[in-house]
Amino acid sequence: MEKGVRIADLFRNEHGYVGKTALVQGWVRTKRDSKAGVSFIEVNDGSCLKSLQVIAEPDRGDYSGLLNKITTGSAILAEGTISESPGKGQSIELRAERIHLYGWADPALYPLQKKRHSFEYLRQIAHLRPRTNTIGAAARVRSRLSYAIHQFFQDLGFHYIHTPIITASNCEGAGEIFRVTTLDPAHPGASESEEAYRNDFFARPAFLTVSGQLQAEIYALALGTVYTFGPTFRAENSNTSRHLAEFWMVEPEMAFYDLEDDIDLAQTFIKKLVGVVLNDCREELEFFARFIEPELMGRLQTVAESAFEVIAYTEAVDILKKSAEQFTFPVEWGLDLQAEHERHLTERVFKKPVVIVNFPRSLKPFYMRVNDDERTVAAMDILVPGTGEIIGGSQREERLEMLLEQMRLKGISIDDYRWYIELREFGSVPHSGFGLGLERLVQFVTGIPNIREVIPFPRTPGHAEF
Ligand code: 4AD
Ligand code: MG
């Protein structure tokens, strides 16, 4: 099969291509015909935002019979000479000597028009929405960030661990878990009774993982520093712009790290990732700054340059209580911080990322290390302007007695977590880790307001098409 040059590479070295022949393959964004019989075809191949203008002059090639079939959405090949473009807004163009039509798109039916479509509409045509500027650009940024995440940890000598998707544990302790079963829900035997589970595939209740952390801890206490990076699932029935039922999380876990080391690593990590997109995804960021979030570049620069503010939960509550702002949700020691509180701290008070540490014990899962005050745990949440929480992490409870007490208090079955407890019985060490939500990160670096737009196929309550 013929293979051409990626349009991104053409533009990257445009002067080098002038006067030379090039072959491109992609999808037609628009076609305009002049009175003189010349057609101007915008071709986009998904390698970058910019489209290449193809000039079709019927006397230059034998494609005149094809031109009326070249419609928006059609897939074509164009081969010809690259020349400097006299037109405004583009540097080079391709004067076609040969055009091939791979697949036609019926203009009466093709769902993407030149006008801007709403994101809600695009979600209904998820098989075509990556052909739009915003969704395509978000997909490229997501890809670059995923690679940068691996690079960051591999460069530091962390080992990549594949933690299970199907698990019997519920790391975060919240009720929002998806069950995995082969029992027929219509069958009367599929109740919660032990008898019913005996007939189920795993012969016990099983779930889709909410976090790979507990299993990552096993490997951290053997290989030292590890990370897991994969899909996680939460049946949160909250239809917000920050929650998905299926999202990707990267979770490093480090032996011999305390909370301070954990925060330092997380901060270095975020700065590094922001630096990578500022450097490698310039075209996309400029597009997002222009059409989606005018404050984007300023926000990213701030994150790349300034030290994050670290404050205790108690201090955060004091600041919020003293604030003149009218919040919808109450602020009280012992209550969770809501999105509006997070935004107030990052966007009004500190105007940069804020790390909140030492949350009340009652608000956080059983595995977090209890502080000397016995009221709080060594937890940290990292909040960024615009998006709110992007990282949640903690130092883990490495002391056997304290872990057992936490489990008793929170009503967690010792039998179900025998393996996790044994890590504290045989060669336990202080250790820490955190989880970064990939979609929250992509939201932050692109300024895209709704999390559904930064994942190819969003899963939310009532939605699992495609
Ligand atoms: O704060 P969370 O719940 O922490 C954990 O799961 C820990 N086990 C992580 C660890 O210490 N290894 O989730 C971590 C991050 C959040 O800060 C957020 O970025 C993202 O995961 N997240 C979600 N992203 C999209 N949709 C959801 N429903 C999310 N829930 C959490
Ligand atoms: Mg959290």
Residue 173: what pLDDT? 80
Residue 172: what pLDDT? 81
Nearest-angstrom CA–CA distance, 51 and 30 = 10
* Domain finish residue from 83, 115, 147: 115
Phi, psi (rounded to 5 degrees) for 50: -65, 145
| Residue among 442, 337, 456, 347 at smallest CA distance from 392 | 337
Distance (angstroms) between ligand 2 centre and the Cα of 435 equals 8
The answer to whether position 247 is within a domain reads yes
Distance (angstroms) between ligand 1 centre and the Cα of 294 equals 27
Q: For the chain, which residues score pLDDT lower than 50?
A: none
| Residue among 6, 26, 14, 155 at smallest CA distance from 82 | 14
Residue 90: what pLDDT? 75
- Does the beta carbon of 257 lie inside 6 Å of ligand 1? no
Burial class (CB in 10 A: 0-12, 13-18, 19+), 400: middle
List alpha helices for 323-428, DSSP H: 339-343, 400-409, 418-425
Residue 232: what pLDDT? 97
Q: Which ligand is nearest to the CA of 213?
A: 1
Question: For 80-108, what is each residue's pLDDT tens digit?
Answer: 999 998 877 779 999 999 999 999 999 99
Q: Are residues 359 and 248 in the same domain?
A: yes
- Does the beta carbon of 389 lie inside 6 Å of ligand 1? yes
Distance (angstroms) between ligand 2 centre and the Cα of 436 equals 9
The answer to whether position 184 is within a domain reads no
Question: For 169-207, what is each residue's pLDDT tens digit?
Answer: 887 887 789 999 988 877 655 555 667 778 889 998 899
Tokens 């594949």 map to which residue? Answer: 162
- Does the beta carbon of 249 lie inside 6 Å of ligand 1? yes
pTM score, whole prediction? 0.96
Query: What 8-state DSSP symbol labels residue 413?
Result: -
- Cβ–Cβ < 8 Å for 75, 26: yes
Residue 183: what pLDDT? 86
Question: For 262-311, what is each residue's pLDDT tens digit?
Answer: 999 999 999 999 999 999 999 999 999 999 999 999 999 999 999 999 99
Euclidean distance between the first and final Cα of the chain, in Å? 29
Strand 309-312 to 354-360 pairing: parallel
- Does the beta carbon of 388 lie inside 6 Å of ligand 1? no
Nearest-angstrom CA–CA distance, 231 and 121 = 26
Write out the two tokens for 258: 């305390």
Full residue range of the structural domain in which residue 282 is found: 129-160+223-229+239-453
Distance (angstroms) between ligand 2 centre and the Cα of 103 equals 46
- Ligand 1 pocket: which of 211, 233, 270, 453 to mutate (most atoms <8 Å of CB)? 211
Burial class (CB in 10 A: 0-12, 13-18, 19+), 436: buried
Give percent helix, percent strand, percent coil of the chain, each to the nearest 5: 35, 25, 40
Tally Cβ neighbours within 10 Å of residue 455: 19
CATH number at residue 62: 2.40.50.140
Residue 189: what pLDDT? 57
Q: Are residues 151 and 87 in the same domain?
A: no
Nearest-angstrom CA–CA distance, 412 and 303 = 39
- Cβ–Cβ < 8 Å for 346, 352: yes
The answer to whether position 67 is within a domain reads yes
Q: Are residues 278 and 333 in the same domain?
A: yes
* Domain finish residue from 59, 80, 115: 115
Tokens 């209740």 map to which residue? Answer: 205
The answer to whether position 458 is within a domain reads no
Q: Which ligand is nearest to the CA of 173?
A: 1
Q: Are residues 85 and 134 in the same domain?
A: no
CATH number at residue 387: 3.30.930.10
- Cβ–Cβ < 8 Å for 232, 247: yes
Q: Which ligand is nearest to the CA of 266?
A: 1
Residues counted in the chain: 466
The number of distinct structural domains making up the chain is 2
Q: Are residues 368 and 395 in the same domain?
A: yes
Q: Are residues 69 and 139 in the same domain?
A: no
| Residue among 99, 107, 64, 61 at smallest CA distance from 79 | 99
